Structure 1
Amino acid sequence: MRKKQNNKQGKQGERFISLIPCLIALISGVLMGLTVAPVGAWFLAWIALAPLWILVVSASKRKNQSPPAPSSFPAFLWGIAYHGIALSWITGIHPMTWLGVPWLPSLAITLFCWGFISVLGGIFVTIWAAVMVRLGRQKSWLRILIGTAVWCGLESLWSAGPLWWSSLAYTQSPHNLVILHLGQLSGPNTVTAAIVAINGLIAEGWTNRRDATESLSADFRRTKRSKTENTEEILSALSAPLWFVNKYLVTAVGLLISLHLIGLILYIRPITQVPEAALRIGIIQGNIPNRLLLGSEGFRRAQENYTNGYITLADQGVDGVLTPEGALPVFQRNLMETALVSAVREKGVVAWIGAFGERGRSYTISLFTFNSNGEIVSRYDKAKLVPLGEYIPFEGILGGIIQRLSPLNAHQIPGSANQIVDTPFGRAIVGICYESAFPEQFRRQAAAGGQFILSSSNDAHYSAHMPFQHHAQDIMRAIETDRWAVRATNTGYSAFVDPHGKTLWISGYNTYETHAATIYRRQTQTLYVRWGDWLTPLLLGLSVVGWFVEKGNEDHYEQVIK
């Protein structure tokens, strides 16, 4: 009887021990998730990946186990924890009753969206872990190189699709502006590579220390030497594990300091502010809830708030006024009849007005440039649409449940990928809401001659910490392109950001506000703007070379042994 109980307790203990890696991975993923708003513990990013790295490498070195199995589930949990927490703001779309979706289906759709994007993040990290498992018996330097390259490559692949937000790089925004300046070299993947590499060095230091200690203990047990004999030799052997951990930790600290020094050099460069390049821009934060915006009362308030705000700013002597995404929820054909456009004709101040464009029987979310005569001189159509908010992914499956998520009867379509926006002040870089997460959108426009950033957004239907994350994304885009950025949002946070990522002014949340500030047109081109993300292909190429070099060394060693 007692033997059965002991066996049962033993099995329970084994189960508990088997769950420890999953628990460690889950906790470290949660820590990475705490780096972004609302917590903003950005410094955790430099250590939060290391526990997973240790688990993956340790699992790959165990004998008599299938390579992918030991690390796949912990990696999956890490990815779900990080991306799930970082993107928890998506739950703010519930309830969607204002779109005609009943409460319970709205909840189900919201949980599905949150779950889907979290699982996608889990799959992303699982693929990375699977590659790392295959490298378990490689040298540490090669694991760090390939691990960093593969992570950056996967982020590039993910960001090329429609579902993208939570790069490791944005864990540092808006708090660590110095390291974000590495983005001027090769985009956000430069910061991501730094985070992954430093976590890898910490993890490899721990792994090598433990391996050396275990090897030393095994040697002592085999030789059965007395602790009183060969004291000098024993002390020398005991110092080996400490040397291993010191080597990697010193390298990690040195690399962290070096990268921040490079970022600091870029950060402290003075910003050229030529008077001839100055523009005084005003923003209007209309503060109209989405549930009202599309009704008669909401449209009345929009007309009143944006018209009065425009007149106030025009009287202050601004050169142009920026409004949020969908400020006036009307089609282009009706836009010319609004009080706001009439005010533009009267005051003669340039305005960028958010409304709906038309393309055949479909429509776009657009930002229209009105010149001093109240004429449309350019238009930008949103190219990256929000899944569920603006189009239905897997429409064949979800379409019958949701019917339509758009409040308009027409079908919404994205704008083209190669739009150019010319204004009375020169070429502008334009991003509408969700597009702030896609650095290539901004890089391409900067390379085409864009001189300042106009970000027009509406985050009113999401959780409160989402607008702060959105602001953090725009800060990164301003730094990477070396441009001044103007953010106009419906309910917050509207802001002015300089090319170093400093927020010169930021609005309140859920408040009606107008504000004017001076920005400067710039024509500089960072390495990232000129060459794009050159670092990721370089890292991948070096990884391939390193792999073949190590493979050749192994083959040569085996031939020598024979």
Structure 2
Amino acid sequence: MANVQDFKPQAFKIKSDRAFQLAIALISGILMGLTPAPFNVWGLAWVAIAPLWILVVATDVKSTYPSAPLTTPRFKILPAIAWGLGYHGFALAWIMGLHPLMWLGIPWLASVTIVLIIWLFVTAWGAALVGVWAWIMSWMSRSGVSAGLRVLGGTGVWCGLESIWALGSLNWTSVSYTQSPHNLAILHLGQISGAMTVTAAIVSVNGLLAEAWIASRRQREPRKTVYLVPISLFLVLHLIGFGLYSRPLIEAPNAALKVGIIQGNVPTRIKLFSDGLRRALESYSTGYRTLVDRGAEVVLTPEGALPFLWEGMNRTQNPVYQAVLEKGVPVWLGTFVPQGTRYTQSLLTIAPNGEAVSRYNKVKLVPLGEYTPFQDLLGGLINRLSPIRADMLPGSPDQQFDTPLGQAAVGICYDSAFPDLFRAQVAKGAEFILTASNLDPYSTTLKAQHQAHDLMRAIEHDRWSVRATNTGYSGVIDPHGRIHWRSQPDVYEIHADTIYRRQTKTLYVRWGNWLTAGLVGLAAIGLLLRKKALLSER
């Protein structure tokens, strides 16, 4: 039996190795965090998961030190959590822009505490999902699963976890959005099976790179040819995407629609008070009149453009209502609507007679901002950040927004990160996309990341997208993801542009996220066949 003293240098070496592994994982996660705005180094996404893959699959301390008593497979989850903290924490650093909240009556120290809790909670949630992925991958590597099956299974599991993540209320930093808005070719893969097609492309290339490195290390003389497979896949995926991107947009003249956009630039910190209300009424009524005079057939305003209940103000004292009666052109108005004892964040179609003829209610409410999750636990700890002093009521996922100018797929602010909300509306006949958002008081980093999500939705659904935000970036995006106009941040702007109503249906609109189910299913079949083969050998 080995002497306990013999384990001391081995134990020290193991601890040093583990610290090194955690550092590598954290650094590679931070590198992935550089891929979205504000840095937009999107190319790093194609290599930044590979180090984590290697650490989870190839690193086995016990095989290096057979007599060491400290090894446990659970350690492989820790590098994954470190990677997740690096990626999600870095990419979500814009959350800190919520501070200061003194204008809500929250003291400075409490404001810092609240913002830190939100940032850490969302970051930890994303890191936990990466940890689950690592646990499954570690199980496959310990079970002797082949490299090809590991790539298939690892890609399917990652996509499956992101798909489950999107069912909740904390989805934002999907691997897919690292390519938006610059890598338009690869984003067009979203037309095949949604955002998960882009995620699958990135994860599979990383997995093949990692497996190539592992295979080369097992040879006395590393073979460079093993890297041909991931490089070839990378090129083929981009060629397919470029083929979709290169298709011409054929627009019928009678499908044209001239839309006006108002970026009101009324900061949230004053919106709730008399000065903010006055500015909002003046900005949107004046902007509406100007845009109609420029030929706009309809005008879009941001989320919560009018910070009061639309039906709660005397209409004779509402200049926006009076402007609509005067000009006779519809407006898509962001405001609040009572529903029982609660409220909805809504976009209304106000017809030329001043009446609301259609309504979309925001589905994905912002946790700790528009509602309080785990109310019993967190309600007394964190003051709500919403301008409405009650939990808002979420809208139904199966809404339909019919307007006199055609059916639209609508998203209000946070909805933009949930592609299935738009798919459901386009599948029912929506001909263009509208998003209304209030991104104040966040920095341009969030504004750019939010635009990145909306750009992906335009490509996936093959629809023109019109964005109206309170403080930027408002814009117009065509079905190929090209930005035709984008506003400047933190200024008042109005703009009129022509979009086109479309009735095409991509594979994603028709079949949804079929790729994830296919990958998971093929991996499961592969594992079952392997198990059967092993049993037959016995």
Q: Does 1:91 align with 2:91?
A: no
- 8 Å contact kept, 1:361–1:411: no
Q: Cα distance, 1:41 vs. partner?
A: 0.3
- 8 Å contact kept, 1:378–1:421: yes
- Choose from 128, 134, 147 the match for 2:133: 128
Q: 1:500 to 1:67 in 2, by over 3 A?
A: farther
Q: Cα distance, 1:412 vs. partner?
A: 1.4
Structure 2 partner of 1:227? none
TM-score (norm 1): 0.90
Q: Does 1:322 align with 2:327?
A: no
SS at match of 1:305: helix
- Choose from 265, 269, 273 the match for 1:291: 269
Q: Does 1:143 align with 2:123?
A: no
1:41-88 C-alpha deviation (Å, 9 max, x unpaired): 000000000000011111358435755323111111001110111111
Q: 1:196 to 1:61 in 2, by over 3 A?
A: farther
Map of 1:169-248 to 2, 5 A cutoff?
169-213=176-220, 238=221, 241-242=222-223, 245-247=224-226
Map of 1:413-562 to 2, 5 A cutoff?
413-556=393-536, 558-559=537-538
Map of 1:297-316 to 2, 5 A cutoff?
297-316=275-294
Letter in 1 for 2:288: Y
TM-score (norm 2): 0.94
Map of 1:7-86 to 2, 5 A cutoff?
15-60=15-60, 62-63=62-63, 68-86=73-91
Q: 1:527 to 1:10 in 2, by over 3 A?
A: closer
Structure 1 partner of 2:233? 255
Equivalents in 2 of 1:59, 1:166: separation in Å? 27
Q: Cα distance, 1:187 vs. partner?
A: 0.3
Equivalents in 2 of 1:59, 1:7: separation in Å? 19
SS at match of 2:379: helix
Equivalents in 1 of 2:14, 2:409: separation in Å? 58
Q: Cα distance, 1:20 vs. partner?
A: 0.8
Structure 2 partner of 1:117? 122
Letter in 2 for 1:95: P
Q: Cα distance, 1:552 vs. partner?
A: 2.5
Structure 2 partner of 1:356? 336
- 8 Å contact kept, 1:59–1:70: no
Q: Cα distance, 1:553 vs. partner?
A: 2.7
Q: Cα distance, 1:13 vs. partner?
A: 5.7
- 8 Å contact kept, 1:482–1:526: yes
SS at match of 1:355: strand
Q: Cα distance, 1:413 vs. partner?
A: 1.1
- 8 Å contact kept, 1:282–1:516: yes
SS at match of 1:325: coil
Q: Cα distance, 1:397 vs. partner?
A: 2.0
Question: Which stretch shows the higher mean deviation, 60-69 or 15-24?
Answer: 60-69
Q: 1:339 to 1:525 in 2, by over 3 A?
A: same
What stretches of structure 2 of length at least 5 have no aligned partner? 1-5
Letter in 2 for 1:424: P
1:300-334 C-alpha deviation (Å, 9 max, x unpaired): 00111111111110000111100000000110213
- 8 Å contact kept, 1:149–1:539: yes
1:157-209 C-alpha deviation (Å, 9 max, x unpaired): 00100111010000000010110000000000000000000000000000011
Letter in 1 for 2:330: V
Count of aligned residue pairs for this structure pair: 524
Structure 1 partner of 2:3? none
Whichever of the two has the greater Rg, that structure is: 1
Structure 1 partner of 2:346? 366
Q: Cα distance, 1:99 vs. partner?
A: 2.4
Equivalents in 1 of 2:379, 2:10: separation in Å? 51
Question: Which stretch shows the higher mean deviation, 285-294 or 401-410?
Answer: 401-410
Map of 1:343-422 to 2, 5 A cutoff?
343-422=323-402
SS at match of 1:400: coil
Identical-pair percentage? 53
- 8 Å contact kept, 2:462–2:479: yes
Letter in 1 for 2:39: V
Letter in 2 for 1:284: I
Letter in 2 for 1:35: T
- Choose from 153, 166, 170 the match for 1:159: 166
- 8 Å contact kept, 2:370–2:384: no
1:442-484 C-alpha deviation (Å, 9 max, x unpaired): 0000001100011000001223310100000000000001000
SS at match of 1:401: coil
Letter in 2 for 1:125: V
SS at match of 2:94: helix
Equivalents in 2 of 1:434, 1:503: separation in Å? 20
Q: Cα distance, 1:138 vs. partner?
A: 1.2
- 8 Å contact kept, 2:370–2:391: no
Letter in 1 for 2:265: N
Map of 1:96-107 to 2, 5 A cutoff?
96-107=101-112
Letter in 2 for 1:291: R
Instruction: Report the aligned-residue RMSD.
Output: 1.8
Q: Cα distance, 1:426 vs. partner?
A: 1.3
Q: 1:340 to 1:139 in 2, by over 3 A?
A: same
Equivalents in 1 of 2:71, 2:421: separation in Å? 42
SS at match of 2:444: coil
- 8 Å contact kept, 1:67–1:134: no
Q: Cα distance, 1:410 vs. partner?
A: 4.0
Q: Cα distance, 1:373 vs. partner?
A: 2.2
Equivalents in 1 of 2:43, 2:132: separation in Å? 25
Equivalents in 1 of 2:434, 2:103: separation in Å? 29
Equivalents in 1 of 2:385, 2:411: separation in Å? 22
Question: Which stretch shows the higher mean deviation, 198-207 or 410-419?
Answer: 410-419
Equivalents in 2 of 1:273, 1:369: separation in Å? 25
Equivalents in 1 of 2:478, 2:371: separation in Å? 33
Map of 1:326-341 to 2, 5 A cutoff?
326-334=304-312, 336-337=315-316, 338-341=318-321
1:341-377 C-alpha deviation (Å, 9 max, x unpaired): 1101100111011110110111111111012222211
Q: Cα distance, 1:550 vs. partner?
A: 1.9
Equivalents in 2 of 1:31, 1:403: separation in Å? 34
Q: 1:62 to 1:254 in 2, by over 3 A?
A: farther
- 8 Å contact kept, 1:369–1:377: yes
